[in-house]
Structures are given as structure tokens and as C-alpha cells.
Amino acid sequence: MAAYHEKFELIDLSQEIYQGMPVFGMHQKTFFMVNQSHEQNMKDTGSKTLGFSARNMLISEHGPTHCDAVWEYNPEGPTIEKMEMSLFWGDAICVDLRHIRYPEYIEPQDLEEAVQKAGLDIRKGDVFLMYTGHYDRCYPDKGYGGLDSKYTGVSYAAAEWLAKKGVVNIGTDAPAIDLTPDDLDFSGHWVCGKYGMTNTENLCNLDKIAGKRFLYMGLPLRIRDGSGSPIRAVALIEK
């Protein structure tokens, strides 16, 4: 294990989960409830030395940093527990797209230029992360989430350009990969449904990996019939 720690730096790409966290407007807000306190548990068990504490969570499958099941936007696609694990981990790149701001779409030319500027290439099976800067500018309460938040996203042409390049997972540091709130065709999700891809939303710390190739991991929970799942997304960068 020590050898891996010496070889790789682990970058946490996941937002904190807490009551009051920003959630996309159509999804369930996050709540925490006390299941048992240390004191109550000691009383219930009769222990004089140790009590256990636990909380319950009420949370959306799409609340915090999460990935989507194809079934969420294509009823003929698989739910989260039936999707190939290769969609959620593997080779990845992250490109800097902070210069593209709402109401402009991220277009194929923007993606191609960003990839070339970083000296990277897109390979079949890649996870493709977009550093838009929305998290840095707006999280948590400066217009990051909610129905009134505004941020850029991929056009249909851009999403399909990535799909045809072999990308299996499109990620962003915003609540959605679509241009919000204007794109009511939800172009990024539409393309993901067409090509059987997933997408990953509400990422953070993309400034630490922009312009790099790395090993990405963002595994979903094994939720039966899940439309998506919270994840702990990380990047492993060679030192």
C-alpha cells in the first residue's frame, strides 16, 4: 500500500454532503435525522462503558457529487446497478473551459481547442471532465444550484463529438452538463441516452487536475433500480 501512496497523489473531486447543501431544483433536498445518540444507546443496551451514535440521511440519488444512470434520461436504458463499471473509472482527462460562460454553449471547437492547448488527446473509453469554474465562482450560495442558477454546458454537437471520440462519461463542476436553465432539450443528457453514456455532476477541485491525464474513479452505490447514485469521485495523479 505504501508504494501506491508514494507513486500517486489522490485528489478528492467530491463535494461535501450536508443539510442545506445546494441541490438542483427538481431534486430532493438533503436532510439528516438522529437515529440514536451515544447516551440513548447506552440506556437502551444497558452498557456502562460504550454507546453508539448514528444518523439517518434523506438524500436524492442526484443530490451531491453523483453519476447518472442511462435510465434516468432514456427509459430503455439500464438502471445504475446494471451499468458497466468501466463507465465509472479509468483513464481520464480534464480540460480548462472557464472562458466559456453562460449563455454561451460549449461547442466542439471549444473542446478541440482546450484539448490541444493542454497537449492532451481523447482516447476511446476516456472519462472527460470539464473545468468550467462554476464551483469556484458560485459554491455554495452565490448562484451555484437551484432553479435560478445559470451556467454553461455542452451543446448537442459538442456532446456528440465527445461520444464519437469514444468518451464514456462526461463530468462537470456544475449541477448539470447542460446549459442551464435555457437548454430545455437537455442536449448533454440526450446524447448520453443515445450513446449509452453516463455523466458526472457536482464535481469540485478540478483546478488541481485541469490540463492533465490521470486515473479517475467515481463508483456508484449498488442501488436497485437506481436512476443515479452519489459517488466519492477521486483522481489519482502520478507524482
User: What residue ranges define each of the domains in the chain, with the CATH number in brackets?
Assistant: 28-60 (no CATH), 66-238 (3.50.30.50)
Task: For residue 120, name the pLDDT band (cuts at 50, 70, 90).
Answer: very high
Place of cell 457536482: 202
Task: For residue 148, name the pLDDT band (cuts at 50, 70, 90).
Answer: confident
CA atoms of 174 and 133, how far apart (whole Å) = 8
Task: For residue 1, name the pLDDT band (cuts at 50, 70, 90).
Answer: low
The answer, yes or no, to whether residue 181 has pLDDT greater than 90, is yes
Read off the C-alpha cell for 135: 464551483
Asked if residue 188 lies in contact with residue 71, where contact means CB atoms within 8 angstroms, the answer is: no
CA atoms of 218 and 199, how far apart (whole Å) = 11
Backbone angles phi, psi at 82, to 5 degrees: -105, 0
Read off the C-alpha cell for 64: 451531491
Place of cell 447506552: 42
Within 10 angstroms of residue 70's Cβ, the number of other Cβ atoms is 26
pLDDT at 218: 98
pLDDT at 51: 96
Axis-axis angle for helices 156-165, 187-195 (nearest 10)? 30
CA atoms of 68 and 38, how far apart (whole Å) = 36
Task: For residue 3, name the pLDDT band (cuts at 50, 70, 90).
Answer: confident
Helix, strand or coil for residue 179? coil
pTM value is 0.96
